[in-house]
Each structure stands twice: as structure tokens, then as C-alpha cells.
């Protein structure tokens, strides 16, 4: 840490800037290590550096010119008047501000090199590459990337990870693979984990040509295929139903000493369910047990989810019962799968009953999203009491209150007693917050139910009736009795 502080102070003295992404990354590491004093010092240092740095206005002014209507007519005079502080930091921040218009950012990149004589380096090339790595500017991205290498610069590993993740997120898989190949030919090779993640992403919508291109480049770099890489190949093959070829991959793994495990078998189960070969999928679990590889909760979840996706909820429940008979406890993920399966079949009562039983008997803590979904569906068919019961259960599990659908329902269809019961369910201690009362009362007024609002007002605790904003709400409404 001593060397760290020496380094960033030296950066500041030489006019360099700690960018937001670097700051947030380091801050996260310090927080993870619970280094509170360094967290505070770094935050103070960063905020002070932003205040002292007058570059904000310079970047804003440059961006206004570049995005303005006269850019194509020649902005030389206008930009020259601004006396821009031409530096790595200035350009990076300008590119970032232009990220929604990547081609404008590229024009700026070209212009400062041609007209201001600025010599671009690895930092600015990486900066413009990040901005151009979008679907609509992919051709320009590759042009800059190739130019960067011919100029003796390389894409750094942080830039690669950021761009690769973005390509994968946007499903630009061909370019994600080409970028991986590009990096493997350079000095900064992606890690084994990057290779594995790329294969996993490809397997979502498998393209075997892309899979084997990644594997071939990985091997060409002198790496031996690991179990995880074999799993990546196997996952794509099973996902598209190429089970014979997938089995050959398993055999190749075994020859290298990698025994099939829950991951291997789970991928076969997933592929068989996707191909609607459910009996075979079920038999895989029997095969696993015979081989001494006991199916874990994830394997069972994949099997049950496959049945639910095919609207075979009865068979899914049969698998669930079989799993429970193996002394395996369900988790929140599996419960969510079953709840969604019930709801797809419009079996709301079954979904509600299952969740309550799993909480009461198995001490399971459902996901917050599972609670929310079920509450919304219950209120849609006016089953308020069951929804309120789930709200109480959420509170016991320390989830924040899920109030809005209840307020909407009660203000339209509920009674004053319903409102009181709801507010009681929201209370952390003795009473719900003043804001909660105000929200319910205002919703009654918005629905034209002034008498219900007034009744609730008089049945509210004294501190609610004397609350200024609630008093103002009633004071602005003629349809109420004057409080005593």
C-alpha cells in the first residue's frame, strides 16, 4: 500500500489522471479487504483530483463542437480556439462522452492525429477500440485494432475482457471468437477462464465452427485441453442433440484421466430434455448412481426444469418427489423452477401451497423474485389473504416490503380493514411508517374512495393523524370530517 500511494501521487504530479474505471476497481478491492482508512483516503484523493482537474469543461466543449452541425465543414478554427489540453486523459474522456456515437469518436481520433499532430499510443488506441466495439461500428473497430498492431501497439488485457464480455452479452459471437484469436496471437493471452467462459457463452446458441475455432487456437498456443475446456465442447454438442459426438468427447476425456462428473451428466440431461427425450434424461440419473456419481441438486434441477419447460408439471413433481426421497433438500433455485412450472399451467393454488410447505417444513428461504411473482399473481385473482401471508413471510426472511401491488389492489377493491392488515404486515416494530400510511390514503383518494380514506385516517395511530403531510392531504380535500 505504501508503494501504491507513492505511485498515484507521482501520477498526479506528472499530470496523469486516475480514470473512473480504475478508481472503482481499486475501491472494490480495498472494500473487499476491509481497509476502511484506505477506502476513505482514495475516495478523498479521487474527488479532490476531479475538482482540481479543469478538464471537464474542456471535454464538454470539445464534444459540443464534434456533435455540432458544422463538424463536417471543418472544425479546425473552433477547436483551435478552445486550446484543448491534448493528452491521453483528455482523449479518453472525450471518446467516452462520444460512446453513443462511435463514428464521431473515430472522426475525433483521426482528426487530432492528422490536424494537431498528436501521436496516438497504446492508451488512446485501446480507448477508441472500447468505444468502437459495438454492433453498428464493428467494421471500424477491426480497422483500428489491426492498425494498432501494425503501429506497434497491442490491445491490453483489460480492454480485451471488457470488449469480449460486451460482444458475448450482445451475442456478437463471431467477432468475440475473432477477438480471442487475435489476442492469442499477441503478447497478452487471455486466461484459461476467458476461454472457458467464451465456450460456455457459445453453447447457449451453439455454433460448432466457433467452438472448434476457439479450441484450435487454444491448442495452437501450446495449451493442453483441460476438463473445463472439454466440458465446453461437450456442452455445445449436447445442446444441439449431437449425442454420439458428445460421447466421443467424454471418451477422450476419460482417456486423459478426466472422469465424467455431475457437470458432464447434467449437460447430457439438459440436451435430452431439450430434445424432449425425457425418459432417457431420467435414466441418465440412474446411470450416474450406478457409476457412483450421485446426482446433485443442480442435476435434479436441470431435469425438473426440462419437464416444466415442456409443460409436464406432473412428471416434474414426480422427479421432485424422487429427489426428496434421496434425502436431497430443495433450494431456492429449484423452488423457483417449480413455482414457474405451476404458474405456466395456471395452477396458482398448487404454487402457493408448495411455497408455504417448503418454507414451513423444509425451512427453505425462497428468492425475493419468487415471492414477488406469486404475490402479483394472487392479487390478479383477488386472493388478498394468501398474498398478505406471503408478505409476512417475506418480512420474516428480511426482504424489503413489496408494497406497490398491494396498494394498487386495496385502493381499488380492498376494505379499510384490508388496508389496516396490509399496513400491519409492513410494520417493522409496532406501526408501519408514515410514508406507507400516506401512500395508502393518497391511493384511496386517487380512486375516489374518500370515505374509506377518512375511515382509515380515524383508525390510524395518533402520530399518523397528526402527521403534517397527511393532515395537508385531508386539508386539501373537502370530502372529510374535521378531525377532533
Q: What residue segments make up the domains of the chain, in order of their start?
A: 168-259, 347-402, 405-484
- H/E segment holding residue 228: helix 227-239
Please report the pLDDT score of residue 479 as a whole number: 45
Which residue, 436, 372, 381, 425, is CA-closest to 402? 372
Beta strands in 94-177 (DSSP E): none
Please report the pLDDT score of residue 51 as a whole number: 66
Which residue, 64, 103, 67, 101, is CA-closest to 81? 64
Please report the pLDDT score of residue 77 as a whole number: 60
Please report the pLDDT score of residue 389 as a whole number: 95
First to last CA, the chain: 66
- In the chain (484 residues long), the average pLDDT of successive 10-residue segments reads 89 80 91 90 85 69 77 60 76 90 92 85 96 96 97 96 96 97 95 95 94 96 93 95 95 93 96 96 94 94 96 94 93 96 94 95 93 96 95 92 91 92 82 86 91 90 85 64 41
Please report the pLDDT score of residue 73 as a whole number: 58
Cα 384 to Cα 361: distance, rounded to the nearest angstrom: 23
Q: What is the total residue count of the chain?
A: 484
Which residues are CB-neighbours of 467 under 8 A, at least 6 positions away? Answer: 434, 437, 438
Exposure letters 18-51 (e unless 16+ CB within 10 A, then b): bbeeebeebeeebeeeeeeebbeebeebbeebee
Please report the pLDDT score of residue 63 as a whole number: 83
Task: Please state, in angstroms and as integers, the Cα–Cα distance from residue 299 to each residue in 57, 196, 344, 382, 466, following that order.
Answer: 56, 20, 22, 37, 58
Helix (H, G, I), strand (E, B) or coil at 374: helix
Which residues are CB-neighbours of 399 under 8 A, at least 6 positions away? Answer: 368, 371
Amino acid at each position: 500500500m505504501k508503494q501504491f500511494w507513492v505511485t498515484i501521487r507521482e501520477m498526479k504530479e506528472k499530470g496523469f489522471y486516475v480514470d473512473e474505471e480504475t478508481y472503482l476497481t481499486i475501491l472494490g478491492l480495498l472494500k473487499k479487504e476491509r481497509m476502511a482508512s484506505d477506502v476513505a483516503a482514495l475516495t478523498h484523493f479521487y474527488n479532490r483530483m476531479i475538482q482540481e482537474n479543469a478538464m471537464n469543461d474542456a471535454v464538454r466543449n470539445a464534444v459540443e463542437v464534434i456533435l455540432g452541425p458544422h463538424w463536417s465543414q471543418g472544425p479546425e478554427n473552433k477547436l483551435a480556439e478552445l486550446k484543448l489540453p491534448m493528452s491521453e486523459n483528455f482523449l479518453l474522456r472525450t471518446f467516452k462522452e462520444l460512446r453513443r456515437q462511435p463514428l464521431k469518436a473515430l472522426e475525433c481520433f483521426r482528426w487530432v492525429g492528422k490536424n494537431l499532430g498528436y501521436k496516438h499510443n497504446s492508451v488512446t488506441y485501446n480507448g477508441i477500440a472500447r468505444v468502437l466495439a459495438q454492433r453498428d461500428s464493428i467494421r471500424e473497430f477491426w480497422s483500428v485494432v489491426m492498425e494498432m498492431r501494425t503501429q506497434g501497439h497491442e490491445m491490453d488485457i483489460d480492454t480485451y475482457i471488457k470488449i469480449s464480455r460486451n460482444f458475448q452479452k450482445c451475442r456478437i459471437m463471431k467477432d468475440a471468437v475473432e477477438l480471442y484469436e487475435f489476442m492469442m496471437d499477441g503478447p497478452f493471452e487471455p486466461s484459461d477462464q476467458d476461454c472457458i467462459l467464451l465456450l460456455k457463452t457459445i453453447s447457449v446458441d451453439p455454433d460448432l465452427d466457433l467452438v472448434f475455432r476457439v479450441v484450435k487456437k487454444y491448442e495452437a498456443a501450446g495449451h493442453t485441453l483441460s476438463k473445463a475446456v472439454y466440458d465446453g465442447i461437450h456442452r455445445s454438442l449436447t445442446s444441439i442433440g449431437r449425442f454420439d459426438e458428445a460421447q466421443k468427447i467424454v471418451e477422450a476425456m476419460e482417456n486423459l484421466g478426466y472422469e465424467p462428473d455431475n457437470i458432464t451428466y447434467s449437460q447430457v440431461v439438459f440436451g435430452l430434455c431439450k430434445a424432449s427425450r425425457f425418459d432417457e434424461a431420467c435414466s441418465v440419473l440412474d446411470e450416474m448412481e450406478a457409476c457412483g456419481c450421485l446426482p446433485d441438486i443442480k442435476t435434479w434441477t436441470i431435469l425438473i426444469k426440462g419437464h416444466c419447460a415442456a409443460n409436464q408439471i406432473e412428471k416434474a413433481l414426480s422427479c421432485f418427489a424422487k429427489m426428496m426421497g434421496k434425502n436431497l433438500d430443495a433450494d431456492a433455485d429449484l423452488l423457483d423452477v417449480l413455482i414457474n412450472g405451476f404458474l405456466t399451467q395456471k395452477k396458482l393454488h398448487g404454487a402457493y401451497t408448495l411455497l408455504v410447505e417448503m418454507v414451513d417444513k423444509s425451512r427453505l428461504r425462497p428468492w425475493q423474485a419468487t415471492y414477488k411473482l406469486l404475490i402479483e399473481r394472487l392479487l390478479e385473482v383477488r386472493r388478498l389473504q394468501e398474498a398478505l401471508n406471503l408478505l409476512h413471510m417475506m418480512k420474516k426472511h428480511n426482504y424489503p416490503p413489496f408494497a406497490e401491488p398491494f396498494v394498487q389492489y386495496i385502493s381499488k377493491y380492498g376494505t379499510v380493514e384490508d388496508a389496516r392488515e396490509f399496513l400491519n404486515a409492513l410494520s417493522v416494530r409496532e406501526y408501519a411508517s408514515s410514508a406507507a400510511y400516506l401512500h395508502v390514503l393518497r391511493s384511496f383518494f386517487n380512486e375516489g374512495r374518500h370515505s374509506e380514506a377518512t375511515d382509515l385516517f380515524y383508525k390510524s395511530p395518533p402520530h399518523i393523524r397528526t402527521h403534517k403531510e397527511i393532515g395537508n392531504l385531508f386539508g386539501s380535500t373537502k370530502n372529510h370530517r374535521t378531525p377532533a
